[in-house]
Structure 1
Amino acid sequence: MRRILGAPVLLRRLALASLVANVVLVGTGGAVRLTGSGLGCPTWPRCTGASYVTTSAMGAHGVIEFGNRTLTFVVGVLALACVVCAYYQRPRSRPLTLWSVLVLAGIPAQAVIGGITVLTKLNPWVVALHFLASMAVIAAAYQLWVRTAGAPAGATLPRPLAALPRLTAVVTVAVLAVGTIVTGSGPHAGDAHARRTGLDPQEISQLHADAVFLLLGLSVALWYALRAVGAPTAARRAAAWLIGVELAQGVIGFVQYFTHLPILAVGLHMLGASLVWVAALAVLETTRPGAPATAPAAPAQARPAVLTPTS
């Protein structure tokens, strides 16, 4: 049994499953809000005052909300399995143990914030914190998955360029944070009686759009810079993927704005936010300090001739 649990391939698959499950959890959380099921279970940790599970009296909203709570247990089981498998790795890896424990610790923390969300009747600021907590867990799950392949080589970038990936990640966080405020100011509150932030949705949406354009500009600049310095292929590919995901997310954002926030478009936009975050994490990972970047080859005419003795 120890040999099975200590198999590196098992841990890698579990880590990937954990990462995917946490992204899906964000999607199901969005479905809870978009269907008006945010208070389908009006209390926490119970679903009702007398039951931990939904009842027929709660109707479809209760089923949707309880389903999202159930998925939290699935995510927790995957996180626990990762901790166990990381413990049995030989030789034992400190990073694997650390990241697996962080993912596991993040699940109940996220659940508690979700409970506070219910107890505060979907306070929009607590809802925003709940989403950002999910992003933190996804970041830890991504790091765990990456580390299951061993320590990445990374890249050594010129000093002026080295800060650009970190700046891109910081702006990504800002885009996600402002996006939660847009959500908290819009019509999809999760319940007909839930309060809103009181901020002007048009003004907050404009601020969000400005931050998105800044992020896209930084991402394009990063991609060109990485090509110019001959950065490793993994780094250039990660930057290209980030741009692609941002463009797709931007299209969905414009569609939902000009079509007056249909539920399907808003749901896809929430899921897309998680994918943008994962893509930004990939850029950070592939550009972190490590092995020297591959220098571009010198032009053929610039190479000195090499004389060889003749027989």
Structure 2
Amino acid sequence: MPHPSIASPTNAPAAPSTHAALWGRALRISAWLSFLAQTIIIGTGGAVRLTGSGLGCSEWPLCTPESLVPIYADQGIHGLIEFGNRVMTGVVGIIALAVLLLVLARVGGRGLVFSALRFAASGIVAAGIVFGLVSLFSLPATPFAMGALLVTVIAAMVRSVRLSSERRDLVVLAWIVLVGVVAQALVGGITVLTGLNPFIVGFHYVSSLLLVCVTAAFLVRLYAAVGPRVSAVPTWFAILSHVTGLALAVTILFGVLTTGSGPHSGDADVFRHGFDATILAHVHSWPGYILAALVAALTISAWALRLEPRKWLLVLVLAIVVQVGVGIWQAREGLPPLLVGIHMVLASLSAATYTVVVLHLKKPVAAQD
């Protein structure tokens, strides 16, 4: 039987069964692990780039032409770092799949779970067939096989969402994370095959950052009460919040371009964007300061008016202040790898916190009443 809500005290049965409580706890733990894993993989991906290990594994999905794992002495630490990041991709995927199956089991029972598993099996078969056909033409078969798997996963998502009558928000978010992980694996492979093209590397990072935001949104909706939602803030505050999001996006975009033009391209032989990193660093700081001012204005207004997202805005202020401090520090120190890596992870956490703020611009009708 579909469960009316996942983790909402407002809508939970008066005496939930032990079985339902265990499933709910498993889902909450898995959701938090998914958020942590998505954040950690940004750190491991940054380590690949910042240590020059981007081509530590010269092949994909194998590490070398003969082996899945590093086997050559000349790969050294670079091979281990690159392979470790690939292993982390598998961990992220397993956790994302666990979250999805737990949500489907609670929302639609065995029917939705078996439907998703059937699609998974058909996707694997389709990927194998595509791999075999493309191999006949002496082309890189793995990207095409991964593309076929991605198409199957998207089809499964569409069917699953259509069949879900309860907590469709959680179903959609869980599917987006799994689809994103599969897509990220494909993009990561293309990154290696293109010799660490800086634009693809940047896209790879932005995609990972968005997945951190989606897992954060899943956590917010998991703990939220079920039902219609109404605005919890004045219209002008909502508009200013979305303008702040635009400033955040522009800041991150120029940050990605700045990193791609700096000394950390992922490998000593990789060409960078060709932009002047010094100029880009200054351009990157401008929307950053605008962002800080907007967040400060939102926070002061929220506390003065006692608006719903005020506590999370304080968290965002802290994240922005630390981020600005690290950015100035790394610029003055000549972009040391450790500080650049911290800056990358903090950017994802700032974006995730902003996501939580936006989701608190509305509140359930029951809370309004």
TM-score (normalizing by structure 2)? 0.75
- The alpha-carbon deviation at position 155 of structure 1 amounts to 4.4
Structure 2 vs 1, CA of residues 6 and 265 (structure 1 numbering), >3 Å: closer, same or farther? Answer: same
1:85 aligns with 2:116: no
1:215 to 288, 291, 298: 291
Aligned amino acid, residue 218 of structure 2: L
1:190 to 263, 266, 270: 266
2:44 to 17, 28, 38: 28
Report 1:152-301 matches (<5 A).
155-232=231-308, 235-288=309-362, 291=365
CA offsets, 1:186-212, max 9 Å, x none? 001110011110011111111110010
The residue that corresponds to 1:49 in the other structure is: 65
CA offsets, 1:253-273, max 9 Å, x none? 111100111111111111111
2:63 & 2:287 partners in 1: Cα distance?
Answer: 38
Which has more helix, going by share of residues?
2
- The alpha-carbon deviation at position 228 of structure 1 amounts to 3.0
- The alpha-carbon deviation at position 154 of structure 1 amounts to 6.8
5+ residue gaps in structure 1? 295-311
1:148 aligns with 2:164: no
2:304 & 2:102 partners in 1: Cα distance?
Answer: 41
2:250 & 2:269 partners in 1: Cα distance?
Answer: 28
Structure 2 vs 1, CA of residues 117 and 90 (structure 1 numbering), >3 Å: closer, same or farther? Answer: closer
The residue that corresponds to 1:67 in the other structure is: 84
**Range moving further from structure 2, 137-146 or 208-217:** 137-146
- The alpha-carbon deviation at position 88 of structure 1 amounts to 1.4
Aligned amino acid, residue 66 of structure 1: F
5+ residue gaps in structure 2? 1-17, 109-165
**Range moving further from structure 2, 213-222 or 260-269:** 260-269
The residue that corresponds to 1:302 in the other structure is: none
**Range moving further from structure 2, 38-47 or 142-151:** 142-151
The residue that corresponds to 1:309 in the other structure is: none
1:84 & 1:150 partners in 2: Cα distance?
Answer: 20
The number of residues matched between the two structures is 291
RMSD: 2.1
Report 1:61-140 matches (<5 A).
61-89=78-106, 92-140=166-214
The residue that corresponds to 1:305 in the other structure is: none
Aligned amino acid, residue 193 of structure 1: D
1:156–1:292 contact (8 Å) kept in structure 2: no
SS at 1:38's partner residue? Answer: coil
TM-score (normalizing by structure 1)? 0.88
1:190 & 1:203 partners in 2: Cα distance?
Answer: 21
Q: What percentage of residue pairs aligned between the two structures are identical? A: 37
Aligned amino acid, residue 46 of structure 2: G
1:8 aligns with 2:24: yes
